[in-house]
Structure 1
Amino acid sequence: MLRNYALPQQLKKLSPKIPWRLCTLSFLLCSLIIMTSIAVPGERLLIVLLFIVVASLAWIFPINLFYLCISGVTLTLLLSLCWIGNFIWPSSLLLHTLFDGEILLAEAFVVSCMRTAMQVAVGARHQKELAEQQMILAYEREQHLNELKDQFLLNVSHELRTPLTEVKGYLDLLRENHARLDSESRQEFLSHAAHGCDELEALVDNVLEATQLDMISASYELSSVSLLDIVQETLAQIPLGGHEIIIDIPQDLAALAHRQQLKRILYNLLSNAIKYSPIHTPVTVSATLMSGQLTACPDICFRVQDMGPGVSAVDMPMLFQKVMRLKRDLTGSVRGTGLGLFISKQLVEAMGVASGLKVRGLRAREVAFALPSRGHRLPYCQLH
């Protein structure tokens, strides 16, 4: 491909005056051949010298094609008249002059067509290259989307099968051994089955919510909500799994938020913290007023901290991508679809907080976001 482009690219870089100068030289050369053929031997050397001088001037100085034609025709007429010795125009001289002029015009037309054709060819090949690059990018993007879709379907099918198997197993045991089990055992089996149903419901909600995020309104109806009440209501829906939950939120601290969406955000963050941190380790939920903020900025910092493995700087940008899970989590025992943080970030930003979620911590993990307190209706600022 480089060989095909070499000659047109080099010709394209030439000065646009060079083809016309070559045309002029060709005209002068044709005139020289004609004139020397009709001149006497003693005049031929003078004619050659005159043509060399004119050709040198035509190459050095930037002369317009029109003036080149006029100069060439005039030079031919003057030289012809010098040979004849008078101002009588014989028919042969007129024919030679017209013949030379036609040669010049034909050569100028051919050179112009060649230059235009080369420019069109180079432009067409450039457009072809751009189209090929766009096709390659589109193909790679489609391949990436297909891989994400396949990964998502694989994750969802696996995550749905696990709690479904748990529910079915406990219900089968309860059905087959109902008469032999005491009330406490039956209640335990039902609790496990209910827990599996809750997991199934959460997974389905995440998938449905992820597909409807594009239709979320940019402005929710926000109201003043008690953060402590929201946290306690959310924790009542999450199995703690032996973790100690530390709540550090003032009793009277209220924020301006959408109640149901805030509960959804906290459910995702707290369930992630419980799933990814070791058993019997604390999970801290805190909300504090940030001092020194402008009245138009969110002044409540909400944090969820756990003792999980943390996130490296390389993996940090991947956390909020759709259907994205870290490589270490794909081979682990923690279930998930990779939608929790993505949905939470979208919901936080849909409530007007431009900074969204922030994740910190290489060893432990902290997820934070900002909320406006009561009376602050324009929550746009960066979370430090």
Structure 2
Amino acid sequence: MVRGSISARRRLSGYALTVVGATCLVVALVPVRDRLGLASDALLFMLLVVGAALIGGLGPALLASAMSAALLNFFFTEPFHTFRVHEDTDVVAVLVFAAISVMVSWVVDLAARRASAVREAAELEAGNKLRTALLVAVGHDLRTPLATAKAVVSGLRSQDVVLDEPDRDELLATADDALDTLSALVDNLLDLSRLQAGAMPVRTRPIPLEDVVAAALEDIGVRHRRVLVDLPDRLPEVVADPGLLERVLVNVVANAQRFATDPPVLRAAWERGRVVVRVVDHGPGIAIGDRERVFVPFQRLGDTSPTGLGLGLALSRGLVEAMGGTLELEDTEGGGLTVVIALPGVTAPTGREAVSP
């Protein structure tokens, strides 16, 4: 493989496999060497060589080749327990085995090097695409609310523009909305980077789902953008981080509102020991082939609005998985998309199973 691509632990494992495997083969094959024959013994030692190459690379494979050739000579060719060979055909067999085992070691290691190089090239390409998408996003989506706020502040400070009180209030409201949008975008970027770095603090505890739903709907301004809520009266508590779950619900509900003309429906149920939240919309939906793509950062399938980076679903899935849950997409009956969030719940007492009405 490429230099440094095999860890020291893997190399040590390869050497250990060589020594232990060769010893075990000798112990197992010596009692039956008269029945198996030299060809069968050589094939089994060849299997050891290939295994050492796959696990530890070229070094362990070459050691396995040398040990296997020596052991075949010493234990399995007459006269036994010497390095002299009685039959010319056995000399040829041992030499051919040694040559083939070295070639197999080289070929297996070369194939592993090429696979590693292809994998690294793919990772580099993916990283370049992500950086390019981030630059595009920063160049447009982040600059738009920033430019709006800057224009409003400049207009308010200008001595050449006379504004009455309603116009001033409207401009201040526009700047406030732009800064809220910018703050939300930056928060999403920072949270996604923390998730990818494994630095996102997650503090789960049993909490009432209705409290988190109420806080999430307040954040997105439900009075102006309707959401239909359908929660059972006796739903068990969900085990989650309340702040992270609120972020997830805000992202998912806002996404549903963006694409659907009718108000989305948020409902929950207790299913097989988990609290399952469904956000149902009757918008255009997402084709099955594109559903995994929407969980890739900066993917905005069908979204041409300037108010998002395509991070909502990617961040939401990451947050849900960090809390020990899952986030999947389903078709809505009659057309549309349903986001299904399943999280651990506090087991309901007997007779308290809660289901959707």
Instruction: Please give the range of the TM-score, normalised by the shorter of the 2 chains.
Output: 0.5 to 0.7
Q: Which residue of 1 aligns with 2:246?
A: 263
Report the count of equivalent residues. 268
Match in the other structure for 2:292: 317
Kindly report which structure 2 residues correspond to 1:190-339, keeping only aligned pairs within 5 A, or say none.
Answer: 190-213=172-195, 214-216=198-200, 220-225=203-208, 227=210, 229-238=211-220, 243-249=225-231, 255-256=237-238, 257-278=240-261, 281-287=262-268, 289-290=269-270, 293-294=271-272, 297-298=273-274, 300-321=275-296, 323-329=297-303, 332-339=304-311
Contact 1:286 1:302 in 2 (8 A): yes
Amino acid at match of 1:248: D
Match of 2:339 in 1: 367
Give, as a single letter, the amino acid of the residue that structure 1 aligns with 2:299. Answer: R
Give the aligned partner of residue 136 of structure 1: 118
1:185 has 2:167 as partner: yes
Asked if the contact 1:241–1:274 (Cα under 8 Å) also holds between the matched residues in 2, the reply is no
With over 3 angstroms needed to count, the CA separation of the structure-2 counterparts of 1:308 and 1:164, relative to structure 1, is: farther
Counterpart Cα distance in 2 of 1:66 and 1:159: 79
* Cα shift at 1:112: 5.2
Inter-partner Cα distance in structure 2 for 1:106 and 1:224: 80
d(CA) in 1 for partners of 2:279, 2:306: 19
In 1: Cα distance, 2:78 partner to 2:175 partner = 96
Q: CA deviation at 1:16?
A: 7.3
Provide closer, same or farther for how the CA distance between residues 171 and 237 of structure 1 changes in structure 2, counting only shifts above 3 A: farther
Q: Give me the whole-angstrom Cα distance separating, in 2, the residues matched to 1:240 and 1:160.
A: 25
Q: Matched residues in 2 for 1:65 and 1:271: separation?
A: 76
User: CA–CA distance in 2 between the matches of 1:225 and 1:108?
Assistant: 77
Q: Is the 8 A contact 2:149 2:178 kept in 1?
A: yes
CA gap 1:199/1:151 in 2 versus in 1, 3 angstroms:
same
RMSD: 3.7
2: CA distance, partners of 1:235 / 1:221: 21
| 1:359 and 1:367 in contact (8 A); partners too | yes
The 1-side partners of 2:327 and 2:92 are apart by 67
Match of 2:127 among 136, 145, 150: 145
Distance 1:239 1:186, change over 3 A: farther
Match of 1:302, SS state, is strand
Q: What secondary structure sits across from 1:314 in the alignment?
A: helix
Q: Is the 8 A contact 1:245 1:283 kept in 2?
A: yes
For the 8 Å contact 2:206–2:345, the answer to whether it is kept is no
SS at match of 1:369: strand
Instruction: Name the residue aligned to 1:352.
Output: 324
Q: Deviations over 1:83-137 (max 9, x none)?
A: xxxxxxxxxxxxxxxxxxxxx9999868854663354234323322332232122
Given the alignment of the two structures, is residue 116 of structure 1 paired with residue 98 of structure 2, yes or no?
yes
Partners in 2 of 1:364 and 1:177 — Cα distance? 51
Distance 1:66 1:233 in 2: 83
Q: Distance in 2 between matches of 1:153 and 1:359?
A: 28
Q: What's the counterpart of residue 158 of structure 2? A: 176
TM-score, normalised on structure 1? 0.59
Higher Rg: 1
How far residue 204 of structure 1 moved from its aligned partner, in angstroms, is 0.8
Amino acid across the alignment from 2:312: G
Cα distance in structure 2, aligned partners of 1:253 and 1:66: 78
> Among the aligned pairs, what percent are the same residue?
28
Question: CA offset at residue 305 of structure 1?
Answer: 2.3
Q: Deviations over 1:309-348 (max 9, x none)?
A: 2111101122333x1414544xx23542232222222222
In the aligned structure 2, how far is the partner of 1:116 from the partner of 1:326?
57
In structure 1, stretches of 5+ residues that fail to align are 1-14, 18-63, 68-103, 378-384
SS at match of 2:299: coil
Length-normalised TM-score, structure 2: 0.63
SS at match of 2:237: strand
C-alpha offsets along residues 216-263 of structure 1, whole Å, 9 cap, x if unaligned?
456x24143351x43343333325696433233367767333321221
Relative distance call for 1:217 and 1:174 in structure 2 (3 A) is closer
Question: Any unmatched runs of 5+ in structure 2?
Answer: 1-36, 40-75, 80-85, 350-357
Alignment partners' CA distance in 2, 1:107 and 1:366:
71
Aligned amino acid, residue 338 of structure 2: E
Q: Is the 8 A contact 1:209 1:343 kept in 2?
A: yes
Letter in 2 for 1:302: V
Aligned 8 A contact 1:223 1:259 in 2: no
In structure 2, the CA distance between the partners of 1:333 and 1:111, relative to structure 1 (3 Å rule), is same
